[in-house]
Amino acid sequence: MDSVTVLAAGHVNWDVTLRVDRFPEPDGEASIRSQRQSGGGSAANVAAALAGLEVETGLIGSVGDDDHGLLARRELENAGVSLSGVRVVEGAETAVKYLLVDETGEVAILGNDGVNEAVTPDDVDPERVRSADHVHLTGQRPDTAAAIARIASDAGRTVSFDPGRRLGDREYGEALALADVVFVTEREATVLFGDDRTDAADGSIIVVTCGADGAEAYTPDRTAVHAGFDVDPVDTAGAGDAFAAGFLATWLEGADIDHAVAYGNACGALTAGHDGARSAPTAAAVEDVLTERS
């Protein structure tokens, strides 16, 4: 079995990105300026970004045996991600997401779930989870997220969790309680913690991404704030996943919290400045941003 530094678990999708002149109003119409297709899904995006940062990475997720599933797996393999934990469901369709991106880089998403949540707790191989140094969970079945978090925590592995947009609709309490690092947007932070994020960081790190305004990390001892990097946004899809990858890549190496947040912001900025959620930055490009813009 492959031994990896980070094992990501969650959605593996196929993305169709449509650049539009504006988001249409009800009964309105917008023009498609361009379109492209690539792999997506938060767990897959983080795994690909970590691999681009030279971190050995594996993935737990599920796809159909259709063309989209084949393309998604091929893209991840080419990025250097171990796919031994990805389940291919016969006769099923891979989840496809349609990302509408306006001229400011803002994103709206339409999609079907396909079989991106076909991994149940019974499908999880405990040895695969234990073979990783760190487990990164993203939005998925709450029972599966909890099962993976329990196995990792019981084995003394660190756990991070980015519950995603559907946080308010799903019961992630157990996985969140076991997480050493929690990644959320400002909106998600309010849903989870209300206005007092400092008290929420009781034995864990709460990382709040703030879009163009950078990010904040709350620990039991202190708060780290980084204002981010100026970038002309082309497509903000995947920027949060790139941030998480950058943060984890440095934090797992023992970097202090300030550097981890800055590194994550550099990864997010580089991704937002390019088309597609899978525009993973390289370690060299990130170092250039940190050197030139700090």
275 DSSP assignment: S
In a domain, 108, yes or no: no
Q: Give the residue-averaged pLDDT of 250-278.
A: 87
In a domain, 72, yes or no: no
Type and span of the H or E element at 160 = strand 158-162
In a domain, 152, yes or no: yes
In a domain, 143, yes or no: yes
In a domain, 75, yes or no: no
Annotation says 241 is catalytic: yes
pTM for the structure as a whole: 0.92
In a domain, 175, yes or no: yes
- Positive or negative, the CA dihedral 45, 46, 48, 52 is positive
**Predicted pLDDT of residue 140:** 96
Catalytic residue among 15, 66, 162, 241: 241
**Predicted pLDDT of residue 194:** 78
Domain count, the chain: 1
CA distance 86 to 38: 18
CATH number at residue 272: 3.40.1190.20
In a domain, 107, yes or no: no
CA distance 58 to 3: 8
Range of the domain at 164: 6-11+42-59+120-293
In a domain, 34, yes or no: no
- 96 pLDDT exceeds 80? yes
Cβ-contact 30, 22 below 8 angstroms: yes
**Predicted pLDDT of residue 191:** 84
Beta strand 32-40 pairing with 82-89 = unpaired
Confidence of residue 87 (pLDDT cuts 50, 70, 90): very high
Mean pLDDT of all residues in the chain? 91
**Predicted pLDDT of residue 232:** 75
- 212 pLDDT exceeds 90? no
Q: What's the pLDDT tens digit per position in 158-211?
A: 999 999 887 878 999 999 999 999 999 998 988 888 777 776 667 889 999 998
